[in-house]
Structure 1
Amino acid sequence: MLDLVYFDVCGPMKTKTLSGSLYFVTFIDDHSRKIWVYTLKKKDQVLDVFKQFHALVERQSGEKLKCIRTDNGGEYSGPFDEYCRQHGIRHQKTPPKTPQLNGLAERMNRTLVERVRCLLSQSQLPRSFWGEALNTVVHVLNLTPCVPLEFDVPDRIWSNNEISYDHLRVFGCKAFVHIPKDERSKLDAKTRPCVFIGYGQDELGYRFYDSVQKKLVEDEAHDDQHDMGDVETPTQVEDEAHDDQHDMGDVETPTQVEVDDDVHEQSPTVEAPSNIPLRKSTRDRHPSTRYSVDDYVLLTDGGEPESYVEAMEDENKMKWVDAMQDEMESLHENHSFELVKLPKEKKKL
Structure 2
Amino acid sequence: MCEACQATGEGCFEGLDRGVTERNELVFADLLFPPRNYHCTRLKAVLVIMDAHTRFVTAFPVKDTTKEEVNPLIQRYVAWAERLCPGCKVQTVFSDVGGELVNDEITNWYQSHGIVHTTTPRNSSRLNMVERTHEMLVGMMKSMMKEAGLPTSFWVDALHYAVYLKNRS
TM-score band by shorter chain is 0.7 to 0.9
What aligned pairs does 1:54-69 form with structure 2 within 5 A after superposition? 54-62=78-86, 63-69=88-94
CA distance in 2, matches of 1:77, 1:8: 14
* Corresponding residue SS for 1:103: helix
Q: Name the residue aligned to 1:131.
A: 156
Letter in 2 for 1:85: Q
* Corresponding residue SS for 1:74: coil
Whether the aligned pair in 1 keeps the contact of 2:97 and 2:122 (CA below 8 Å) is: yes
Deviations, residues 16-53 of structure 1 (Å, cap 9, x unaligned): 16xx1110011111111111111101111111110111
Query: How many residues align structurally?
Result: 141
RMSD: 1.4
CA distance in 2, matches of 1:10, 1:137: 13
Larger Cα-atom Rg: 1
CA distance in 2, matches of 1:65, 1:118: 34
Displacement of 1:96: 4.0
CA distance in 1, matches of 2:122, 2:138: 23
* Corresponding residue SS for 2:131: helix
Q: Name the residue aligned to 1:104.
A: 129
Whether the aligned pair in 1 keeps the contact of 2:26 and 2:90 (CA below 8 Å) is: yes
Poorly superposed stretches of 4+, deviation over 4 Å: none
State percent identity of aligned pairs: 26
CA distance in 2, matches of 1:60, 1:93: 26
Deviations, residues 96-116 of structure 1 (Å, cap 9, x unaligned): 432x11111111112111111
Unaligned runs of 5+ in 2: 1-22
Q: Name the residue aligned to 1:5.
A: 27
In structure 2, which of residues 140, 146, 163 is the aligned counterpart of residue 115 of structure 1? 140
CA distance in 2, matches of 1:51, 1:131: 21
Q: Name the residue aligned to 2:96.
A: 71
Unaligned runs of 5+ in 1: 145-349
CA distance in 1, matches of 2:94, 2:49: 10
Q: Name the residue aligned to 2:3.
A: none
Letter in 1 for 2:81: V
Instruction: Judging by fraction of residues, say which structure has more helix.
Output: 2
- Which has the bigger relative contact order, CA under 8 A and spacing at least 6? 2
TM-score normalised to structure 1 length? 0.39
Deviations, residues 74-104 of structure 1 (Å, cap 9, x unaligned): 1122212111111111011002432x11111
CA distance in 1, matches of 2:152, 2:121: 34
Q: Name the residue aligned to 2:44.
A: 22
* Corresponding residue SS for 1:39: strand
